[in-house]
Amino acid sequence: MRGFGFSKFVPRQIKRGGFDELLKLFLELLNYTAGDAGEALAWMNELDKQYNLTDDEYGMGDFIDELKQKGYLSEDNQNGQFSITAKTEQSIRQSALEEIFGKLKKSGKGNHRSPQSGQGDEKNAERREFEFGDSLDQIDMTQSIHNAQVNHGIGDFMMTERDLEVEEMDYKTLTSTVLMIDISHSMILYGEDRITPAKKVAMALAELIRTKYPKDTLDIVVFGNDAWPITLQDLPYLQVGPYHTNTYAGLELATDLLRRRKTHNKQIFMITDGKPTCLKEGTRYYKNSIGLDRKVVNKTLNMAAQCKRLKIPITTFMIAKDPYLQQFVRKFTETNGGKAFYSSLNGLGEYIFEDYIKNRRRTVR
């Protein structure tokens, strides 16, 4: 007999003192301490005092020993300082990927189809009648047999071309992406940590590309007074500096990197919380943090227009809500022909992943 059975709900007890549970916390804290293992462990000790993370059978010392045994942590024998290993760096990226991509899969934000379908690379949910030129592996046999039974009956089974139904296919193209991260001082102003979510997104996106789209390329550029590329290994240790925001330099470097890529699809993702406030003129820095400086803004808009001529769309992820800053972003987006998202810190990762997957399935003409 089918039905439902009900029983008393007994909440699952939180397991304390286990290595796996403590490792998750340790990896999360490393994002906030810019990869400083000693500081992360100090925070864990404080949290242990307050929330009893460990017990009499498994203490924090046991956890540190196991981190070293399993290759997550190394210790300098001369000064006793701890540092994380390449295995830990990869674990941080995987943790960020699970956190962000897991939310995206659950949220159901839109579909990921390109505007055109046909004989592409990846099946989608759309169905249509068979047309001459469709490949046989596109035919949905279950639905086609069902159509034949409906159209001709089951007494004398027959199937015609009109009964055949095929699965649509999405086109996917190789994509080269530059992710620009603002590391100006404003990314930690007003008591709000904006750099940690940005780092998480970069690590998760890099891990997604490395594991699911290995032929795609991702370059990471940070920009403050100047702009420079960083490697994947640098990400956990990334911090903001006493910098202004030289958006022009970041776009210039990103464009140079994309020129070298031999792919058709090229794009720039820019995470920023403020307006451009800086230019470099020879060896001198021109800076103005008051309002929107016409000299800085116009040169930045010219760079956005140059990217448009090179067919490089810029997607700006704005994590600030000031109306005059949003007005600048709207003008910047209009000049480039790209897109802009006014995102909260919590939704930043899902927006970027959604846009990345959607963009890489465009059909390039």
Residues 6+ apart with CB under 8 A from 68: 74, 75
Q: How confident is the model at residue 365 (pLDDT cuts 50, 70, 90)?
A: very low
Other CB atoms within 10 A of residue 223 CB: 28
Task: For residues 60-85, give the mean pLDDT.
Answer: 92
Note the pLDDT tens digit of each residue in 157-182: 888 888 888 876 655 678 899 999 99
pLDDT for 175-228, tens place per residue?
Answer: 899 999 999 998 887 778 888 888 888 898 888 888 888 889 999 999 999 999
More confident residue, 154 or 103: 154
* Token pair listed for 145: 């047999």
pLDDT at 118: 37
Q: Looking at residue 317, what is its pLDDT?
A: 83
Give the model's confidence band at 108: pLDDT under 50 very low, under 70 low, under 90 confident, else very high.
Answer: very low
DSSP element (H, E) containing 176: strand 175-182
Q: What is the mean pLDDT of residues 127-136?
A: 77
- pLDDT, residue 299, reads 97
pLDDT tens for each residue of 230-262: 998 999 999 999 999 999 999 999 999 999 998
Please say if the pLDDT value at position 13 is more than 60: no
Task: Give the pLDDT score at 331.
Answer: 92
Specify whether domain 175-361 bears CATH 3.40.50.620.
no
Please report, for the chain, the start and end positions of each structural domain, with discontinuous segments joined by +.
19-84, 122-170, 175-361
What the block records as the tokens of 85 is: 């290993």
Query: Residue 225 and residue 204: Cα distance in Å, rounded?
Result: 26
For the cut 50, the answer to whether the pLDDT of residue 110 exceeds it is: no
| Percent of the chain surpassing pLDDT 90 | 44
Residue 141 has pLDDT above 80, yes or no: yes
| Residues contacting residue 300 through CB under 8 Å, at least 6 positions apart | 247, 248, 251, 276, 332
Per-residue model confidence (pLDDT) at position 345:
67
Looking at every residue in the chain, the average pLDDT score rounds to 83
DSSP at 136: G
Over 80: is that where the pLDDT of 270 sits?
yes
Pair 241, 183: CB distance under 8 Å: yes
Q: What is the mean pLDDT of residues 264-268?
A: 90
Host H or E run for residue 271 = strand 265-272
The CB density around residue 149, as the number of other CB atoms within 10 Å, is 14
Q: What is the mean pLDDT of residues 296-309?
A: 96
Segments in the chain forming alpha helices (H): 19-32, 37-51, 60-69, 86-107, 141-152, 195-212, 247-259, 294-309, 323-336, 348-359
d(CA 279, CA 339): 24
* Cross-strand partners of 266: 176
* C-alpha closest to that of 72 among 115, 133, 24: 24
Catalogue the long-range contacts made by 66-71 (C-beta closer than 8 Å, 24 or more residues apart): 66/19, 67/23, 67/26
Q: Is the pLDDT of residue 38 over 50?
A: yes
CA–CA distance, 340 with 143 (Å, rounded to integer): 41
The model's confidence at residue 363, banded by pLDDT at 50, 70 and 90, is very low
Tell whether the model's pLDDT for residue 352 goes beyond 80.
no
Instruction: State the burial class of residue 351 (Cβ atoms within 10 Å of its Cβ: 0-12, 13-18, 19+).
Output: buried
Query: Are the beta carbons of 360 and 216 closer than 8 angstroms?
Result: yes
Closest CA to 334 of 354, 313, 318, 357: 313
Which residue type does 122 have? E
